């Protein structure tokens, strides 16, 4: 396939399309209450060919970062063939996938064995972000929705730690940003884990990204008083280890800080207290082909009718993005919002 140069695609606020978050499954092997995953995938899950077509067309329209998500993407039998197809395209002159600079994966780390980590690296994955919301077993069990209390939580923490070791051994280098740790912080539930999580990440010389508890979907019973603002998180960590600001890169989700001793970095994703809608460049596509231009959207746009050809799909995505004007996080406090919204696990976060 011969392709022209990538086209810059802008929305109503002149925000370029730059990141594609593609969900491979809505299923998960954990049951985090803030995420509320489904027990089964929606009907009409995209085929491998359809997923590759989506990624190619998105790259043609300016996408430079592909992030594979879930649910838990390591549960998907489509993951490895998809990575292989993307890797082939990135090495083929004239293929739009040559323009992809970054292919990343978000996982809870439970299934990240040594063999799996090596296979991911060998099949062209550039980066892994592992989610862990607590070091203490009892708190980890609560955040993951596990039965069995502290014992189950301790087991989860050990599995995730083993996954981090496996990823590092496979060549995902934390110092290069190839391996990061995510944690959702909910006031009164796991905010006492801030310092233990920072200690863990520092011991691994790994960036820790702290995420404000968000009002995604309708199942999690979100309330504003459950949000610990990013500024407070940074202050608490800085009381133990001094930090200096690195700012936020255009289109990035996290404002970053570096420890004075240069051990590693801390990022804060402040969708509630410090919205960053102004340069949001992310398009989310669910496992069944629904496109969402905002994490907090009430409904998506079905792309499956346009899957017949690259031209049809390119027209559908370009049209959707050019009409985009959403900036929910910036408008959260000044608009009445009682509409149902898609759930986190379905959207892929």
Neighbouring C-alpha atoms within 13 Å toward the C-beta of 326: 18
Averaged over 202-216, what is the pLDDT? 94
| 22 pLDDT above the threshold of 60 | yes
pLDDT digits (tens, 9 = 90+) for 93-107: 999 999 999 999 999
Averaged over 130-139, what is the pLDDT? 98
| DSSP code for 10 | B
pLDDT digits (tens, 9 = 90+) for 245-285: 999 999 999 999 999 999 999 999 999 999 999 999 999 99
| 159 pLDDT above the threshold of 80 | yes
- Domains delineated in the chain: 19-173+278-347 (3.20.20.70)
Averaged over 314-327, what is the pLDDT? 96
Question: What is the pLDDT, as a whole number, of residue 216?
Answer: 80
CA 307 to chain centre: 25
- Comparing 28-42, 281-295, 326-340, the range with the smallest average pLDDT is 326-340
CA 18 to chain centre: 14
User: In the beta sheet, which residues pair with residue 301?
Assistant: 291
- In Å, what is the CA distance from 153 to each residue of 113, 137, 158, 189, 211? 18, 4, 9, 14, 20
CA distance 79 to 118: 14
pLDDT level of residue 53 (50, 70, 90 thresholds): very high
CB 41 within 8 A of CB 98: no
- In Å, what is the CA distance from 203 to each residue of 63, 198, 237, 262? 34, 8, 15, 12
pTM as predicted: 0.94
| 237 pLDDT above the threshold of 60 | yes
DSSP run (H or E) holding 267: strand 265-269
CA distance 59 to 301: 19
């Amino acid at each position: 396939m011969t392709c022209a140069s990538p086209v810059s695609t802008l929305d109503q606020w002149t925000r370029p399309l730059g990141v594609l978050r593609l969900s491979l499954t809505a299923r998960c092997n954990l049951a985090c209450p803030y995420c509320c995953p489904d027990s089964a995938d929606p009907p009409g899950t995209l085929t491998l060919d359809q997923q590759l077509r989506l990624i190619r067309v998105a790259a043609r329209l300016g996408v430079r970062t592909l992030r594979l998500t879930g649910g838990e993407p390591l549960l998907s039998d489509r993951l490895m063939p998809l990575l292989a197809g993307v890797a082939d395209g990135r090495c083929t002159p004239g293929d739009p996938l040559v323009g992809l600079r970054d292919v990343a994966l978000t996982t809870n780390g439970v299934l990240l064995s040594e063999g799996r980590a090596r296979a991911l690296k060998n099949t062209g994955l550039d980066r892994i972000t592992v989610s862990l919301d607590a070091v203490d077993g009892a708190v980890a069990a609560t955040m993951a929705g596990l039965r069995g209390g502290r014992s189950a939580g301790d087991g989860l923490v050990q599995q995730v730690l083993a996954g981090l070791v496996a990823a590092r051994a496979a060549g995902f280098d934390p110092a290069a940003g190839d391996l990061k740790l995510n944690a959702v912080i909910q006031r009164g539930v796991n905010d006492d884990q801030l310092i233990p999580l920072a200690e863990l990440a520092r011991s691994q010389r790994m960036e820790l990204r702290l995420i404000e508890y968000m009002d995604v979907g309708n199942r999690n019973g979100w309330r504003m008083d459950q949000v610990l603002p990013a500024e407070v998180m940074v202050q608490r960590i800085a009381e133990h280890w001094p930090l200096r600001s690195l700012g936020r890169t255009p289109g990035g989700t996290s404002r970053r800080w570096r420890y004075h001793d240069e051990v590693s970095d801390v990022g804060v994703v402040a969708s509630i207290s410090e919205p960053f809608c102004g340069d949001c460049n992310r398009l989310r596509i669910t496992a069944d082909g629904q496109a969402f231009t905002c994490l907090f959207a009430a409904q998506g746009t079905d792309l499956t009718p346009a899957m017949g050809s690259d031209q049809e799909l390119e027209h559908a995505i370009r049209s959707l993005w050019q009409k985009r004007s959403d900036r929910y996080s910036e408008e959260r406090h000044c608009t009445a919002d009682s509409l149902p919204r898609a759930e986190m696990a379905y959207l892929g976060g």
